[in-house]
Amino acid sequence: MKNYRIEKLPVRSRSKVELFLQKIGFPLAIIVFLLLFFVVDIEFLRHFEYQKLGKTAKEAFDKIGSENFIRNNVAMLAIFVAALVLWITEAIPNYLTSLILIIALVLTGVLTEKVAYAQFGHPVMWLNILSFILASMLVATGVAKRFALWFIVRFGKNASSIFLSFIVINVVLSLFISATTAKATILLPIFMVVAAVYGATGGKNKNNFGRNLVLQNLLQINISAGAFVTGSGANLLAASLIAGAVGSQVFFYDWMEAAAPLALVLIFIAWFLGAKIFFPLKPEERLPQIEGGMDRLKDELLKMGKINFQEIKAIVIFTSILALWVTDVYHGISPTAVAFLGAVIALMPKIGVVEWNEVDIPWHLLLFSAGAYTLGAGLDATDLPAIVVNASFDALGFAEKTPFWVLYVSLTFAMIFSALIFQSKTMRTMIFVPIAIGVASRFGYPIVSLALPVALLIEHVYVLPFNSKPALLLYSTDHYSLTDTFKLGFTMLFVAWFMIILMGETYFHFLGITPNGVF
């Protein structure tokens, strides 16, 4: 299993196109910023309807006056587009782009220093930090590894049961680990050993068992993260944006109630398409090719010894926090407060189960997230998404009573297929969730009816290697080709889009999310 540690995997080299984009990204961002801020006169930013602004934007308008408000909108647009260029081209590290945009928002006067810097203390930021502490608890004590090994050894009797076992493992880990890369890192050594046992060692020895196992894990790692608001930082950001727009909290239970059934259906559809349609298993691929191969996983589990007291404490903390998260709609304690309690107990000397130097917090990702939240604060203060949405729909001649289904189908299509272009789930969230909120506000539909279905498509980042870190990591195993992942992944994008429309017409309508269904 040590041969498949993440640091031993080959680093994917950039294509010529990626290298070219990286080279021109920084000067292009500067040019775009200067043109939008100083040169181009954007008419719709000067002619907006005050009554259609959000509460925060109206307060800013009343405080600083129309001229400064217009200037702030121009600056916000220039910073936003320049940041997009840097994030997409990866000309500089993402966290550095975030730091630049934070200070740019301050220097241009879009946000005060207090508001801009305070985003690092955003409740969602704290939940991100605390989730990494709690995830480290599961990793440091060995609970996550023990659970995955035990489940495969106990239930992985044949090819089909192995695939089903990884579905369960991925869903359970998504409840608690808010980083898809962390899940991939935990599971990769395990499913690579299982693949080898079934004769798939990658490279020239690819087979359909290996293709299915690795690709199914890639889809499950991402799709199962969408089932829970704590599944990723992007989910937490989307919930925060929606909560800010509607004026009430998006509970863990609310998100799970809407998202979990959709995620499970998609996971099983992906399994059927992969194992039965695209990469059907030959009879010999359904049986272990290495005699006693599964015994190696049993030995790995036996090496861990009997479950110890530290692991038991970690499990108790884990299940207690999970119970409080799932029932938050009843007791009203926020997920962040619950995570705070869990992290304090986990780190408590003598009582806890993990020490600070065992905690793995990726601060570069948190700095990147802080920049995204600061960008969100700027968008809220200027109400730029709503202004752009209103101007766009006016220019296109949309009637004030545009059918709900036109908006629902268009927004969900844009969100899910944007995953083919954008490398950041957080950026897709920052772009499309505010747009959905703005569209719903313009046409008088409930904000949740458009914003939540759009948010539930955040995690569909599995088609191409650059779409997400787990996609890049698993592609590096050389168990499948670019054609393989595009064939299954692109099909699943269409399936997911169809399913979100179907759910909007049926289940979401039953939950009261879509007002009268989609159509």
Regarding whether 450 and 386 lie in a shared domain, the answer is yes
196 domain-assigned: yes
363 domain-assigned: no
Residue from 296, 406, 354, 372 nearest 128 by CA: 372
Distances (CA, A) of 186 to 5, 190, 194, 270, 415: 9, 8, 14, 22, 29
499 domain-assigned: yes
367 domain-assigned: no
Regarding whether 198 and 128 lie in a shared domain, the answer is yes
Position 12, amino acid: R
Q: Which residues of 63-91 are buried (b: 16+ CB within 10 A; e: fewer)?
A: eeeeeebbbbbbbbbbbbbbbbbbbbbbb
DSSP state of 8: G
User: Which residues are CB-neighbours of 388 under 8 A, at least 6 positions away?
Assistant: 44, 435, 438
Extract the tokens encoding 136: 């480290």
Q: What is the pLDDT of residue 449?
A: 95
Regarding whether 254 and 224 lie in a shared domain, the answer is yes
Residue from 459, 440, 353 nearest 402 by CA: 440
Mean pLDDT by 10 residues, the chain (519 residues): 48 71 93 95 85 84 92 94 86 90 95 92 81 82 82 79 88 80 78 80 81 93 92 85 81 92 96 93 75 72 89 90 85 86 91 86 79 84 85 74 89 92 79 89 90 95 83 83 92 97 95 86
Regarding whether 323 and 427 lie in a shared domain, the answer is no
User: Which residues are CB-neighbours of 412 under 8 A, at least 6 positions away?
Assistant: 453, 454, 457, 497, 500, 501, 504
DSSP state of 460: -
Domain count of the chain?
Answer: 2
Regarding whether 317 and 448 lie in a shared domain, the answer is no
Position 59, amino acid: E
| Contact between residue 212 and residue 279 where contact means Cβ atoms under 8 Å apart | yes
Last residue of a domain, one of 358, 387, 414: 358
Backbone φ, ψ for residue 460 (5° rounding) = -85, 75
461 domain-assigned: yes
| Contact between residue 105 and residue 378 where contact means Cβ atoms under 8 Å apart | yes
Regarding whether 225 and 199 lie in a shared domain, the answer is yes
Q: What is the pLDDT of residue 293?
A: 61
Cα–Cα distance, 111 to 116 (Å, whole number): 6
Residues forming beta bridges with residue 205, ordered by sequence position: 202
Q: What is the pLDDT of residue 1?
A: 42
Cα–Cα distance, 372 to 241 (Å, whole number): 11
Full-model pTM = 0.79
Please state at what angle helix 233-246 crosses helix 363-382, rounded to 10 degrees: 20
Regarding whether 190 and 77 lie in a shared domain, the answer is no
Q: What is the pLDDT of residue 2?
A: 46
| Contact between residue 52 and residue 386 where contact means Cβ atoms under 8 Å apart | yes
Distances (CA, A) of 193 to 38, 97, 168, 201: 57, 38, 18, 9
Element (H, E) at 312: helix 309-326
Residues forming beta bridges with residue 515, ordered by sequence position: 517
245 domain-assigned: yes
Give the position of tokens 């889809």.
219
Cα–Cα distance, 23 to 89 (Å, whole number): 8
DSSP state of 274: I
Last residue of a domain, one of 358, 390, 412: 358
390 domain-assigned: yes
365 domain-assigned: no
Regarding whether 493 and 351 lie in a shared domain, the answer is no
Cα–Cα distance, 179 to 467 (Å, whole number): 15
- Domain, as residue range, for 323: 124-358
Regarding whether 284 and 204 lie in a shared domain, the answer is yes
| Contact between residue 460 and residue 496 where contact means Cβ atoms under 8 Å apart | yes
Regarding whether 313 and 230 lie in a shared domain, the answer is yes
3-class DSSP assignment, residue 202: strand
Extract the tokens encoding 421: 């272009």
Cα–Cα distance, 230 to 236 (Å, whole number): 6
Last residue of a domain, one of 358, 393, 415: 358
Cα–Cα distance, 504 to 501 (Å, whole number): 5
Regarding whether 322 and 406 lie in a shared domain, the answer is no
Residue from 370, 305, 285, 360 nearest 115 by CA: 370
Regarding whether 103 and 161 lie in a shared domain, the answer is no
Distances (CA, A) of 398 to 145, 402, 414, 448: 54, 7, 18, 21
